[in-house]
Amino acid sequence: MPDRRRGLAGLLRGGAFRGRLTRHLAGPGFWRALALAFGLGAVAALALPPVHLLPALLVALPGLFVMASEAPTARRAAWIGLAWGWGFHVAGLHWLTNAILTEVERFWWLVPIAVPALAVPLAAFTLIPVLLMRLAAPGWPRALAFASAWVAAELLRGVLFTGFPWNLLGTVWAFASLPIQAAAWIGVHGLSLATVLLALAPLAGRRGWAGAAAAMAGFALLGLARLWPAEPEPEPVAVVLVQGNVAQEAKWREDSRWPIFRRYVEMTAEGARLAAAEAPGHRVLAVWPETASPFLLASDAEAARIAGAALPPEGLLLAGTVRAVFGADGRATRVWNSLAVLEPSGRVLDAYDKAHLVPFGEYMPLRGLLPVRLVHGALDFSAGPGLRSLALPGLPAFSALICYEVIFPGKVVGPDRPGFLVNITNDAWFGVSAGPHQHLASARLRAVEEGLPMLRAAQTGISAVFDARGRQVARLGLAETGVVLAPLPKAAPPTPFARLGLAIPLLLVGLSGLLSGIVTHRETRLPRREMV
């Protein structure tokens, strides 16, 4: 067999870019290689929101690919993959430290270890592509195996250990509506697959650059075709998103409860007045962020009456609140993180209880076995029964998503398709950092995938309204106080992803892996044929 079949390049051998990269990355000693891989992973995080430095992937992903391919053993490749993933997640999730700083007097010792410790199990998912791709033939079969295994790892990360599909690689395109339109067909995981292949394309030299340019042009044309039709007339609903900008450390103090509540009530009344003036005859829909009310609206009739009084006649309030069941002694026996629907009289028409809870944030796994308790109070939050559409008079049905429930692709709509999505969240935990921007990118992608408008109310921002194609209708920035006024966009017809969900990226992963396997099998049989 010709020697050119045996090298890493195969079809990629002619690329000068790949040749230079191999010379620089293939030879360092073990510890230097780990440090280099960690640095490349951290560089890759620059492509994530809010920086969106996409060229960083043209160095970081080929660097990982070459180092893992050229590693003399699978064990060394695994260490390189682990180091790369560790750098990527440490840099991408550094903002989580802000949550600890809200109670630094209790958890100061967690500051240097929390994010690096969390990044280790997340980094382990990088082992899947770096090890599986070594089983494929050099050249484009190996690149295809790497890309398909990368997406398989992302899919697993979304379900194992309650799931954490944060900072999926496809979110790097969520800086505008045009680059993410393909998500309506292939979802964010399909965008991740395309992103890995595009990043590796320069290893093939001029042919790779040309192929990447052609693929980018194709995605752009696809996006333009989807965005070209005129947006239909909105629903006769005036949306008021209330962003109170309440610092997390002040949120539950006894002396702050009434001032915070009054701020939300007054801002709602002012926003409703402006909305009624801009859109006379439209029903006003006000939305408060997650746990915005320091009073339990579902059981505190006076607080509910005061909140409802801020609404105009026929208005509705979707308020983030805690819901509780009390025992005979007056103490809460169960609590839920909820969205309550109030009418102007203060009557609670319906409520949605968060179903996908955050471990260590809303409940303690292995309660009683761990030496430290991070959740406040004697009770963990209880999980609600699951996603469902809430149908209210005068409104299209909607699906409520509390906090990070919005980050799960294909899992934001219940059995009955709603007319729009509502995401309420409290990103005050994370301060002015990359975290709220990354959370917003996930919400925007869910709108495109499902073909549904997204209303997002965040405690300290970023609050926004996106239409069914992910175009930004209105927005209020991070750490700002105010209201977002916007019409309620109409839903689009169900997208292919809305119909088939994760079956589409699973099919793409399967086909890519199968194609790589078929070519690899043929490559391994060629020497026998030549000997015959």
> Mind giving me the DSSP string for 373-423?
--S-SS-PBPPPS---EEP-TTS--EEEEEGGGGGSTT-S--SS--SEEEE
Q: How many CB atoms lie within 10 A of CB 518?
A: 11
Tell me how far CA of residue 145 lies from CA of 71, 511, 515, in angstroms.
17, 10, 9
Quick check: 76 and 37 in contact, CB under 8 A? no
What SS3 class is residue 527?
A: helix
Tell me phi and psi for residue 316, to 5 degrees. -135, 150
233 is a catalytic site residue = no
Give the distance from CA 528 to its chain's centroid: 48
Q: Which two tokens stand for residue 453?
A: 């408008």
**Residue 52 and residue 437: Cα distance in Å, rounded?**
11
Q: Which amino acid is at 71?
A: A
- Which of the following is catalytic: 154, 235, 251, 290? 290
> Mind giving me the DSSP string for 270-313?
HHHHHHHHHSTTPEEEEE--TT--SS-TTT-HHHHHHHHTTSPT
266 is a catalytic site residue = no
* Best CA proximity match to 469, nearest among 436, 487, 446: 446
What SS3 class is residue 335?
A: strand
Q: Which residues of 314-347 are buried (b: 16+ CB within 10 A; e: fewer)?
A: ebbbbbbbbbbeeeeeeebeebbbbbbbbbbebe
What SS3 class is residue 475?
A: strand
- Which of the following is catalytic: 403, 405, 411, 449? 403
**Residue 148 and residue 136: Cα distance in Å, rounded?**
12
Tell me how far CA of residue 372 lies from CA of 116, 360, 376, in angstroms.
18, 10, 11
- Which of the following is catalytic: 154, 251, 343, 354? 354
**Residue 326 and residue 300: Cα distance in Å, rounded?**
12
290 is a catalytic site residue = yes
- The catalytic site residues sit at 290, 354, 403
